[in-house]
Structure 1
Amino acid sequence: MSESELIYLLALQRIPYVGDITAKKLVHHFGSAEAIFKAKKDRILAIDGVGHKVAKLLDFSAYEREVLQEINFIQENGIKVTYFEESTYPEHLKHCIDAPILLFEKGNIDLQHKKIISIVGTRKATNHGIAFCEQLISELAPLNPVIVSGFAYGIDICAHKAALANNLQTVACLAHGLNQIYPKSHQKYKNEVLKNGGFISDFWSDKTFDRKNFLKRNRVIAGISEATIVIESAEKGGSLVTADIAHSYNREVFAVPGRTTDSFSKGCNELIKTQKAQLITSAADLVYYLGWEIEENKPKQTQLFVDLSGEEEKVLNELKKLGKTELDVLALACQMPTFEITTYLLSLELNGLVRPLPGKMFEVI
């Protein structure tokens, strides 16, 4: 994307009544943002869904000053701008109809060919929710996923911190420009995040904290990953909105169950009850449903001396007897519920003792 085209794309973003869907429609029709502003009014009006209001506002000179100010901010602060038609635009997000036409990034973000999950939850996280979040990310660490969240209080910042603690890349999606951090108390995590991932936003530098921006930000969190995990949520809240958006994108959604009397489990329990989310109790559930492999393109050597729990030994011994076996058959042979046996299988897989096969099959290495 040339600087000239970026200037016109920024101007297109500034036009009232033109959101990301309409902007993409205009770009696809005319071939470039610059061509939109140079097109005659009757050609603009010929496009379905674009009315007189928009056609009248397509005057580049009206936005030139503020666009050039934003260009200066981008250049002076080392902001990377990614256009939705570029190959470096996040692959999962690219397929969302309302994805941002431009993404602003800062840090060392690399989402190409990565396992990416979003983790969200209440801002008033309980000790149980924090512990689950930390344990989940620790268990997933060998798979080297990118952890995405919203840098807010509670579960969000817990997910970012747990990712950093496990040397994983983490990406914070912001609901304001990249010239600030909200909440201010999270400023202390900024440099670590920049080193091990970074910040993403589709807001200009003049956009400050505003509650309505969080709803817009949530579509990026939901769209950029292959799965969204809700760890704790009350009956209403932003994390449920993110889950709904992810569900509408046909992405996998997971929710951590809890007691019916726990206020911050009500949202998760409702997601599971209405079948908008799969129940998740450990990393094994996520690995199983997403079909992730422990390592790509690297055969893992079997370890000779591994300390196994009694349950893990039982699963391994049964699998040795049965040979290639379906998960449900193995669970029946071990007299264990499926959700429990997947945890042991993941541990055995991480130790190089078993491997998953297509069709929910497993075998001893």
Structure 2
Amino acid sequence: MDQQELLALLALKKAPLIGDIMAKKLIRTFGSATAVFEQPYRQIAAIEGIGDKKAEFIKVKDLFSKAEKELKFIEENNLKYRVYYNDDYPERLQYCVDGPIIFFENGKIDWSNPYTLSIVGTRQITSQGSAFLEKFIAEIAPLKPMIISGYAYGVDILAHKLAIEHGLQTIAVMAHGLNQTYPRNHVAHNKDVKNNGGFVTDFWSTDTFDRKNFLGRNRIIAGLSEATVVIESADKGGSLVTAGLAGDYNREVFAVPGRLNDKYAAGCNDLIKQSKAHMLTKTADIPYILGWQESKVAVQKQLFVELNEDEKMIYAFLKDNEKEMLDIIALNLKMPVHKLASILMSMELKGVVKPLPGKLFMLA
């Protein structure tokens, strides 16, 4: 890429009050980032959505000197950069309206992998959450998906470590520049991550860790992935924000259900209850709903499941009819819809049935 255009992109990335959405509009209007900075103030201010206050960035004198320093850092540390209008920019991120105009990476990342999963959750992962995640990664490993997370404590770091253990590529999306590591003690994992994927951020080396950066980090986690998996979450937290962003990007969201009185199941249960996430009870749910090669997933199915009389009746009906809508099953079995839905959820947890889009159900 022409160095002047790269400097202009970096400068535009740091322009006050100009985010990625507006930066893309400016580039689209004038043809390039370089051309943006060649425009007079009034020409910039006249653009819909800009106005006088936002147009002030064109008068900031040190934007390019700061960009030159950052470019020097990029070159001295052999970092790669991806620009949103270039062919080497990750395709899924291109579809995100607020995807970064430029981001930076460090490692050995193969963006051609068609299978990408973001795995997020609480920093206080429980033993149940750890056990589920360990089993999930082991079973999904034959499909070789890219595992993306935020390098935080708890679910994030365990997802990265398990991905590496099973020979999967893993991407750590950071909320600061790539000259830092937060949490600091995760430095111990940096070499393994770089050798099995790498680090990604759209923050500069001058951007230190700050909680306000999490939203920017989380949009990249959600945007890079075909689906986001929430392992455990309290009723509030960054994991739910990431799940919400994934939903906004029209990506699939999965959540692992838990007991009603478990603090770190509340967020997942709410996502499922509000129809914002698929209920994830077994690994095969992922390739089935996403259309991946399910036959390659090494899922250990229960050989013997005890069913009560209602469950046996539903099982027999689905065995005869292959798949059917919730309302039609209820009508044929003369069972209230609310009762049937509850029983089907219980059967799903037992691995006997699985839900399909459009309120359809079939035997697992």
Q: Same fold (TM over 0.5)?
A: yes
Residue of structure 2 in register with 1:253 after alignment: 253
Residue of structure 1 in register with 2:168 after alignment: 168
Number of paired residues? 324
Cα deviation per residue 1:215-251 (whole Å; 9 max; x = unaligned)?
Answer: 2111111111010010000011110111111111111
Residues 78 and 288 of structure 1: CA distance in aligned 2, closer, same or farther (over 3 Å): same
Residue of structure 1 in register with 2:202 after alignment: 202
Shift of 1:90: 1.2
Q: Which amino acid aligns with 2:233?
A: S
Residues 30 and 228 of structure 1: CA distance in aligned 2, closer, same or farther (over 3 Å): same
Residues 342 and 71 of structure 1: CA distance in aligned 2, closer, same or farther (over 3 Å): farther
Partners of 1:7 and 1:342 in 2: CA distance:
55
1:54 aligns with 2:49: no
Q: Is the 8 A contact 2:113 2:145 kept in 1?
A: no
Q: Secondary structure at the match of 2:148?
A: strand
Shift of 1:65: 1.9
TM-score between the two structures when normalised by the length of structure 1 = 0.82
Partners of 2:276 and 2:254 in 1: CA distance:
8
Q: What's the RMSD between the two structures over aligned residues?
A: 2.7
Q: Is the 8 A contact 1:234 1:267 kept in 2?
A: yes
Q: Secondary structure at the match of 2:118?
A: strand
Q: Secondary structure at the match of 1:147?
A: strand
**Alignment of structure 1 residues 11-160 onto 2, 5 Å:** 11-59=11-59, 61-160=61-160
Partners of 1:153 and 1:30 in 2: CA distance:
43
Cα deviation per residue 1:260-284 (whole Å; 9 max; x = unaligned)?
Answer: 1100000110111111111001111
Q: Is the 8 A contact 2:174 2:200 kept in 1?
A: yes
Q: Is the 8 A contact 2:41 2:59 kept in 1?
A: no
Residues 360 and 84 of structure 1: CA distance in aligned 2, closer, same or farther (over 3 Å): farther
Partners of 2:322 and 2:18 in 1: CA distance:
52
Q: Is the 8 A contact 1:230 1:239 kept in 2?
A: yes
TM-score between the two structures when normalised by the length of structure 2 = 0.83
Q: Is there any run of 5+ residues in structure 1 with no aligned partner, and where?
A: 301-306, 313-324, 344-358
Partners of 1:207 and 1:97 in 2: CA distance:
23
Residue of structure 2 in register with 1:193 after alignment: 193
Identical aligned residues as a percent: 50
Q: Is the 8 A contact 1:328 1:338 kept in 2?
A: no
Q: Secondary structure at the match of 2:284?
A: helix
Partners of 2:150 and 2:348 in 1: CA distance:
32
Runs of 4+ in 1 over 2 A off after TM superposition: 40-43, 53-57, 59-62, 307-312, 325-329, 335-339, 359-362
Partners of 1:202 and 1:75 in 2: CA distance:
16
Residues 255 and 85 of structure 1: CA distance in aligned 2, closer, same or farther (over 3 Å): same
Shift of 1:134: 1.1
1:182 aligns with 2:179: no
Residue of structure 2 in register with 1:319 after alignment: none
**Alignment of structure 1 residues 207-226 onto 2, 5 Å:** 207-226=207-226
Q: Is the 8 A contact 2:148 2:170 kept in 1?
A: yes
Q: Secondary structure at the match of 2:17?
A: coil
